[in-house]
Amino acid sequence: MADAAAEKRAANKFSRQNAALGAETTKFLREAKVLIVGLRGAGVETAKNCLLQGVGHLSLYDPKPCAESDRGANFFIGAQDVGQPRDQVCAPRLQELNPDAVVHVAEALNEELVASCTCVVFTDGVNRAELVRWNEFCRSRTKDVVDERGVHSTVAAPISFVWAVCAGLCLSIFVDHGDQFECRDADGERPVVRLVESISCEKQGLVRYAVPDGLPATSPPVDSLYAFSDVQGCCGSALGGTGLNDCAPFPFTSNKGDPANSFRIGDTTSLSPYEGGGLITETKRPKTLRFRSLGERLVAPGTPFGSDGLPMTDYTFSGKEAQVHAGLVGLMEFEASQKRLPNANDEQDAEDVLSAAKTYAAACQVLNTATADGAKALDVTIDESVVRAYARHASVELQPVATFAGGVVAQEVVKRSGKYTPIDGFAHFAFLETMPDPPPALADRAPRGDRYDDLASVFGRSFVEKLGDLNYFLVGSGALGCEFVKNFALCGVCCGPEGSLTIADADRIELSNLTRQFLFREHNVGQSKALAAAAMATNPGGRTRAPPMNENLKVTCHEAYVGPSTEKEPFTDEFWEGLDGVCNALDNMEARFYVDKTCVTFEKSLLESGTMGTSGNVDPIVPHKTKTYREGGNAAEGQGVPMCTLRNFPHLIDHCIEWARDKFAELFEKPQRRVKKFCSEPQSTLQDLQRRLESSDPADVESASAEALLLWQALEVATAPLEQRRQLCAQRSYDAFHGFFRDQICDLIRAYPKDARVMKNGQDKGPFWSGHKRFPTAATYGDHADQWRFLVSATHILSQCMGAQPRKEEGDDDYASSERNEVFAASVAQACVIPPYIPGTVDKDIEGDVNEAATPDNSVDVARAKGLEALQRLSSVNLSAVDVEPADFEKDDDYNFHIDFVTACANCRARNYAIPPTDFDKAKLTAGRIIPAIATTTAAVTGLVLLEMFKILQDKPATDLRTRQVGLALNYYPSFDADNLVTFKTKEVKTKPDAVSLPEQAFDDKGDIKSEFYEVSTIVAYPEGHSVWSKIELPEGSADWKVAELKAWLSDEHKLTLTAWNLPCGEVTDSDGEKRAVSARVYPAPVAVDLRKLPSLELSKPQAMMALQKQRVGGLMMKYLSEWSRYKQLGSLPDNIPEPEGSTAEMTLREILEVKGKMQLGHKRRVILDGLSCSVTRASPSAMDTDAPNEEEFDVEKLAPVLLRL
């Protein structure tokens, strides 16, 4: 039992990693033995990421003494460690990151040690002779094996060799996995799945396929194999099995002229005809990769424009990869002759490296021309400025580059498992656009013997001081946030006398966070993320061996979300105005968009980034230089699944899991929310239901009837005596099982029998159950284990919701442990009554004509009667003892029955449709919408983000800013100039008219519509060429203006006519928890109905009209009459009739924002007047080509934000 609990805890801890890497890779890492040589910044970053990824055995070798400058990149070296061996200092601190791993300090770097390893990583030194020797040793390792016959043999067993060199703003990584290395999964993506549409009967059978609902419509990889399953028909042994489902996977082949979404298989002429159904699933074909030695690759690294290694990393196409390679070889030659690295900013040393690089380039040219087929040596013309810049800082390790290197290198260790595509030899990176231009004075770059020496040697001491005095806002302190806190502390960001870092994160630490949020330890579980992260950086305390990263980091933490609810406190306008910049570390789009919008309002730079498994992105956003985050486009959210697929026609297990998650809300969230709302507002709820039930609108009646019935059903359980309530919850769960898996399926089969045809307008379009539609089978309780698991989990969750049993406390892993078995389920089922099947309806959005049997009598009158009966019961219920709480779906608690329910529910659904079932872990990932997250990608991305921060602080132009993508799986590192500023200009748009309405002369000889007959519309922008960063700023004191004054100012100052103002005033949430935006009309000023003028509700409608005429309501007669009719239906006016709201025409702008916009302005300094609509007078399109003045009024569709200062 204890072992099972420990295993489940480990699975929870590594859940995000398993989602990205897969359990097989995670298992490999637990068994791997990794040696890291060198523990400066890149080394310790690699070690950290390896341990977080789950490497089971890590050896460290770096006996060099810690230096003060090491503290600028190594987060585990403190001031008290200077002079001590790096490996001995770091080992116990690294151990804390993964207590289950063995972390070992090697006494010597020898062949015995290296031979025992799976992978060896060198991160310190460029000694060519030593590196080549160790590489050859690793390549040549063998091992003795004994086959099943007992025969001994020796086989190659190379040790993976990785080498990384951080040289200022450049990075080189070399990888060698041996002469033969099997890559079993090149990209790590989920296997492609397609639906079979048809299979032809011919010599080369043509398979046509479709994309399942909810999956991206990408082309299947042509180098994979594809297996068939669930195909009906196609029986026979011609292709090697008893039928197509039993055949070995097929290669993806096609003939010229074949239709899209198809491929060929073998001879299908002797197979029985294809009858229907079927899935095609990708089987990834392993690839054998042949790596070349370090000695060979130093001469012939390949080219970024070919397929012979050296991935492209410089997307300016200036060939910096080759320049860095030449610089690296020159550096190695310098080290070989001088027995040291070049001194930073030493021009003579830089010239010596440059000279060696030129000699190397010339030798490569001779080698290429002297051999018959060319030696494929590096073909490069040395760019002196690049190589000289490389050489000046070749001995410098910059923390952002080391962080990036640690992410990439650790991922190469992961690739030793056979998953993902390794770097084939060298990969070179150059971030030279970050370099100060012009460089700081030499005196400003001189070393002072402190932790910032390396940083100052490139950017200057003045720049370091600027970093220290920044006032920055870090939004989020999860995986990205932890890395940012570390990076800021090591680089001195916000560590100066005027510096300040504010961290906001409302979340608490969970066990699954520990594999990628490296500032947290197991004793931090349950604590605030923001506070724990700040403490680890500045004052870790006695429960960890880690030293402070930087005691001077000045941090203020807020356990709060950043959004409208925290604008009054703590994130006021004054707070935002005082910032120098914002760094996002978020994982949801809503929060990203809010921060982006606020940065636009206050014109603050924003560092945006994100990760998804092995992929990541970096987006620097700078006022008046780049696009905003929202303008850059939304992150991919995945394909939507049509509702009819989820409701009636699932064909993938993902559809069943999504459906089960929806049923969770239907059973345990929505009814409970309705009850809580009713308990807080019983009279208004009853009045609203009464009004709708008495409406003449059938839709209103039916929806109100359904709401009333559902509300009563929930309250019937909630108000039952406590001793009966749990059994009622069990019965409701039992009823739900039969409703979901028996009744709904029976309804569908009644409407569409197995032989049903699709009939449209009387025409037969073929069999209904074809393509992605699987014919279902209704369930009978007791057939399989998922059914009793459904009953157990549903009973427990519903009982907690309804107060029928104690609610689970956080951290209680023994909750209801004796009631999680089949015996308990049998006792529950025995006490329940099987509900009778009552035919119901099917969805109206199913294609074709619905069978009449599917539509029983369910008239409006019946619905109204049922609703009124439920309303009567609701009006007399005693609410005083109601104890109801909605179940807040929690994916990270494995003992609260939530994921148990989703798993069982999805599998019961899957069995209805003969879909292979899911397991607990997959259900958890899918239903919990868990984002695959790993430490390597996080580290790599945050290192790149910091480089963008350095550029922003230097006020670099947009052409030096980089929008980057990180693809660790396939070594894909594109970078582009940051997205250009989006400006809005007036333009004319021509729209093709409806041809039917045009005269004969509108068409040319080809039958096309002539351009002069196109409809021309003008899209007006004001001011011309503005961006979202631009503002139309109202003058001081305008908060006290009335709308008329605003209108006059817009006209006088900008020639704009205010036509409307609909002010956004928040969101409303309906009873199902859905949100929608609402706005208030400000201009033209609406006239409010004075309820005091409404006549008696006892009058007839004609009498009421006469009474209103006497009240002199004038043109508002129909509005008053409508309100009178509404209250007459309700039966009474409100007890306390409020005075009518004042007209917006008489309000000041401040009052309008407070009253209509529902804003609290006491803490506000600036407000954007959203919802303004204006028009402008300008020349019409028809007057452009004439001399006659012809002006028209045009709506301004792109109006710059109007800013009001308070």
Indicate the SS3 state at residue 171.
strand
Give the Å distances, CA to CA, from 1103 to 104, 722, 1098: 95, 54, 10
Nearest to 70 by CA among 42, 34, 32, 100: 42
How far apart CA 459 and CA 324 sit, in angstroms, is 20
Of 277, 250, 279, give the one whose Cα is nearest residue 266.
250
| β-pairing verdict for 1166-1168 and 606-612 | unpaired
End-to-end CA distance of the chain: 64
Cβ contacts of residue 190 below 8 Å, gap of 6+? none
Evaluate the CA torsion angle 466, 468, 472, 475 in order and state its sign: positive
User: Which tokens belong to 300?
Assistant: 């012939």
Q: Packing angle between helix 529-538 and helix 479-491, nearest 10 degrees? A: 30
Residue with tokens 């770059």: 445
**644 tagged catalytic:** yes
Residue among 644, 729, 832, 1065 flagged as catalytic: 644
Environment class of residue 766 by beta-carbon count within 10 Å: exposed (0-12), middle (13-18) or buried (19+)? exposed
Quote the CA–CA distance of 353 and 377 in Å, as a whole number.
Answer: 19
- Provide φ and ψ at 573, rounded to 5°: -60, -40
How far apart (Å, rounded) are the C-alpha atoms in residues 133 and 1038?
76
Residue 775 backbone phi and psi in degrees, to 5:
-75, 125
SS3 state at 101: coil
Mention every residue, 6+ apart, whose C-beta is less than 8 A from residue 786: 903, 904, 907, 908, 911, 917
Count of beta carbons in the 10 Å neighbourhood of residue 835: 15
The answer for residues whose C-beta is within 8 angstroms of residue 542's C-beta and 6 or more apart is: none
Between 399-414 and 479-491, two packed helices, what is the crossing angle to 10 degrees? 140
Give the distance between the most distant pair of CA atoms in the chain: 112
Rounded Cα distance, 520 and 500, in Å: 22
Q: Is 385 helix (H, G, I), strand (E, B) or coil?
A: helix
Contacts 24+ apart (CB under 8 A), 855-859: none
Please, which residues have CB within 8 angstroms of residue 1169's CB and are 6 or more apart in sequence?
A: 1034, 1061, 1063, 1149, 1201, 1202, 1203, 1204
**Residue 684, Cα to own-chain centre: how many angstroms?**
40
> Which residue in this structure is represented by tokens 């073929």?
766
Q: Residues in the chain, how many? A: 1206
C-alpha distance from residue 311 to each of 29, 308, 417, 762, 1024 (Å): 26, 9, 21, 60, 43
The 10 Å Cβ neighbour count of residue 1165 is 14
Question: Could you write out the DSSP letters of every residue in 862-918?
Answer: HHHHHHHHHHHHHHT---TT---------TT-TTSSHHHHHHHHHHHHHHHTTPPP-
Catalytic residue numbers, as ranges: 644
